[in-house]
Amino acid sequence: MNNRVYIFDTTLRDGEQSPGVSLNVSEKLEIAKQLARLGVDIIEAGFPITSPGDFEAVKAIAREVRGVTVAGLARTNFADIDRAWEAVKQADQPRIHTFIATSDIHLKHKLRMTREQVLQAAVAGVKRAKSYTADVEFSAEDASRSDPDFLCRVFEAVIEAGATTINIPDTVGYTTPDEYTEFIRNIMTRTKGIEKAIVSVHCHDDLGMAVANSLAAVLAGARQVEGAINGIGERAGNASIEEFVMALYTRRDRYGLETGINTEEIYRTSKLVSKLTGMDIQPNKAVVGKNAFAHESGIHQDGVLKERTTYEIMNPAMVGLSHSNLVLGKHSGRHAFRSRLVELGFVLHEDELNKAFGRFKSLADRKKEITDQDIEAIVENEIRKVPATYELAYLHISSGTTVVPTATVGLTRGEELLEEAACGNGPVDAICKAVDKITGYSCRLASWGINAITAGKDALGEVTLRIAENNRDKLYMGRGISTDVLEASARAYVNAVNKMIYEKNNQPDEK
């Protein structure tokens, strides 16, 4: 049997379904390009029929991200499949991923269909997809709670209809590793023609076993694993791509399997997804958490200093975690800055470099030492964003225990400087009200949070917030960084407003 496991990344589809996550087209495209650098085999770019925005995002990814299979999700009805094809047809390697539920609980309560009706719909959907592309994946939603006899019938029929990948998902995270191994083997043994297709699995983490179940599945013969960066997704999330890949590599003595993943891109990919989705990575998260390679115990520290492998089963450099001690400061020039960017894996266009270098010099005037983490934060803040209608020019704050907080804000729009002042319940509220007066939009602050992204008293603070127009439910996330919390808040608020304006001005028409 082939020892290659194909990695199907659904960060941009299932991952984006995480509560509170909403990515725009440019953010999805940025993540997709990084996923290609990471080396995933298939990018599930979205569910094209769900919205014009999702359709445009999938279409942009298919058009611009080369050298990787781009898939669009579709139910088995023809409208979904036709829309998916329109979105992915410009890809180097287009795939239509169609699905229908097969468990009796879904048939009775959700679909209200008989088994025969589901079987017919599955076959018709695959045939329709096959008329567009040779690469068709079929998923039996809630397969792990489906009757194996019926599942085998469905898989035989869709393989005969042209499906090239068969997905056996644990949609609700219900199964266990030993049970799943037996289940997959049973299906593979009893399904006629299964050798014509790649067997895939898609595991959810409701009981915390998504990665373990995925590993169990490849032992049983599955050769495609679906998951998301940082394990994000519906409810408790999906199998974490980075955990699965590193488990397969670290325990290659047991599995004897390989992937096409460039592991040195793992950390950077994880950070990018966290930044753009606004979903923080828990400190003790395996592989990419900030404590994953940290040692506080004296015994552990002593052991690692003598021999790293005493307490580290993975080399942090292998996942792209930088431990460089190179420090840049206010006297550093563009060449040193550019060289450090290249070492960190950032390749910027000239205008992007100019903006990042300007922020670097500004920060260096206020912060004694600039670390790699500072540089990463600057770059991500400067170039991972939509075109800015407004930019922060200056900020003045008057606040204290005996005065009403007041903010005076200056924003630039092109060459024009716009200035307003406002009072608020606190300095952040005052800033937001002043920005609203300038832009003419009335927004409410739905959430606000801050994290120290570098160490020390002069640490960079990153503010992440979400806003909505007062008469709408749609949320827009903004991020801002600075050594000053209020400046970071202002930058984050302006960033969110710019996203809202950009989406309003570029909303595709419903077709």
What are the tokens at 284?
A: 């003790």
Neighbours of 251 (CB within 10 A): 13
Strands 69-75 and 42-46: parallel
What are the tokens at 260?
A: 């096409």
Residue 147, marked binder: no
Taking the alpha carbons of 205, 232, 163, 223 in that order, is the dihedral positive or negative?
Answer: negative
* 2 torsion bin: left (phi>0), alpha (psi -120 to 50), beta (else): beta
Quote the CA–CA distance of 269 and 271 in Å, as a whole number.
5
Rounded to 5 degrees, what are φ and ψ at 451?
-135, 140
Residue 97, marked binder: no
For the beta sheet containing 406-413, the strands, ordered from the edge strand earlier in sequence to the opposite edge, are 391-398, 406-413, 416-423
Q: For Cα atoms 471, 12, 472, give the angle at the middle one, nearest 5 degrees.
A: 0
Helix axes of 148-161 and 177-190: crossing angle, nearest 10 degrees? 50
Q: Do residues 382 and 346 touch, judged by C-beta distance below 8 A?
A: no
Distances (CA, A) of 258 to 181, 242, 264, 373, 398: 19, 13, 15, 31, 59
DSSP, collapsed to helix, strand or coil, labels residue 444 as strand
Residue 295, marked binder: no
Distances (CA, A) of 77 to 5, 89, 377: 30, 18, 44
Rounded to 5 degrees, what are φ and ψ at 474?
-60, 130
Rounded to 5 degrees, what are φ and ψ at 160?
-60, -35
SS (H, E, C) 72-134: EEEECCHHHHHHHHHHHCCCCEEEEEEEEECCHHHHHHHHCCCHHHHHHHHHHHHHHHHCCCC
Residue 204, marked binder: yes
B/e letters for 166-189, b = 16+ CB within 10 Å, e = fewer, are bbbbbbbbbbbbeebbebbeebbe
Question: In sequence order, which residues have a C-beta less than 8 Å from that of residue 253 and are 6 or more positions away?
Answer: none
Q: For Cα atoms 269, 272, 273, give the angle at the middle one, nearest 5 degrees.
A: 85
70: nearest Cα among 106, 95, 52: 95
The annotated binding site for Mn(2+) is made up of 14, 202, 204, 238
The annotated binding site is made up of 14, 202, 204, 238
